[in-house]
Amino acid sequence: MLLAYDILDPKHYRPSDISGQFAKDHQKELIENGLITNGSLAYSGLITKGSAKRLRKAINILISLSEWKTATHFKSGIEFQFKINFITLTLPSPQGNVTDKDLKSSCLQPWLKYWRRKTKGMSYVWRAERQKNGNLHFHICTDRYIYYKDIRDTWNRNIARFGFIDQFERNHGHRDPNSTDVHSINKIEDLAGYLVKYMAKLDPAEQKIEGKVWDSSANIKKANYCTTVIDTSISQELRQLTSNQSNRQFKADRCTGLFVKSKDFEKQLPPALSNTYQHYLKELRAGV
């Protein structure tokens, strides 16, 4: 989607200016729109409207920076096009007295660190969620294709330090629990909608989680949407895009929006807008 805003004085809209008395006077609105964070709200243990909005933003940025890649199916050997995967990491036995913070700091973070190093710059977004049995599990979206058994082996190795594998072996007679689930979601047209449904849903029955509910790789965490000032050339290009009847539009008091089908988005951008967007993506990918 392209959004064009009317801002009388852009200087008053710089993120660096959101500080001091203005931030104090408008704290609630700024938090809800993801412009600043508040410690007590950021770690409430639940997905709030504000955190869901920031999570949706992170997912959209992840999808934008992810490039189409060729991967090979582990069974058939057939090559296929891959963009995003969806990984779930679970516990094979009861969580017991192991805290949520311990799971994240001693299992999830080392797992992410290993694959960031192994894949040379994996971008990701993760979300923690409580299962009905009380166990914590993690949904992770990444831009890297990882062999499913390697995902499971590295995760089981990390959770073994808390005795989860030993407990599973006592109950099942082996030490290789199917504690992970992996889906390549390259065939889903509304990729953002699919991921947001699982990652950023607001559930009134959701159980609280200790510490962070979600997080992302550093390049996504510090990123904003792609923005630019509308000059003469971009103004002409916007008129060109709006003249295309297949692009749905809407108008508000000081904002005009233009929806472009995601699979055609980069192809439809005219030169000036395309250069701006490609530079934005290059910086995102280099910031991992």
Whether 55 and 116 have beta carbons less than 8 Å apart is answered as no
Mean pLDDT of 196-214: 80
- Check residue 82 and give its pLDDT: 82
- Check residue 154 and give its pLDDT: 97
Pick the closest to residue 115 from 182, 177, 65, 48 (CA basis): 182
Cross-strand pairs, 86: 141, 183
Neighbours of 80 (CB within 10 A): 14
Higher pLDDT, 247 or 202: 247
- Check residue 178 and give its pLDDT: 95
What domains are defined for the chain?
Answer: 1-36+226-288 (no CATH), 59-220 (3.30.70)
User: Strand ranges (DSSP E) for the chain?
Assistant: 2-5, 69-72, 79-82, 85-89, 124-130, 136-142, 180-184, 214-216, 248-251, 255-259
**Residue 40: is its pLDDT beyond 50?**
no
- Check residue 17 and give its pLDDT: 45
42's CB contacts (< 8 A; 6+ apart) are 51, 212
* Structure tokens belonging to residue 47: 């997905």
Q: What is the DSSP letter of 217?
A: -
261's CB contacts (< 8 A; 6+ apart) are 246
pTM: 0.81
pLDDT tens, position by position, 134-193: 999 999 999 998 999 999 999 999 999 999 999 999 999 999 999 999 886 766 556 777
Residue recorded with tokens 């294709």:
145
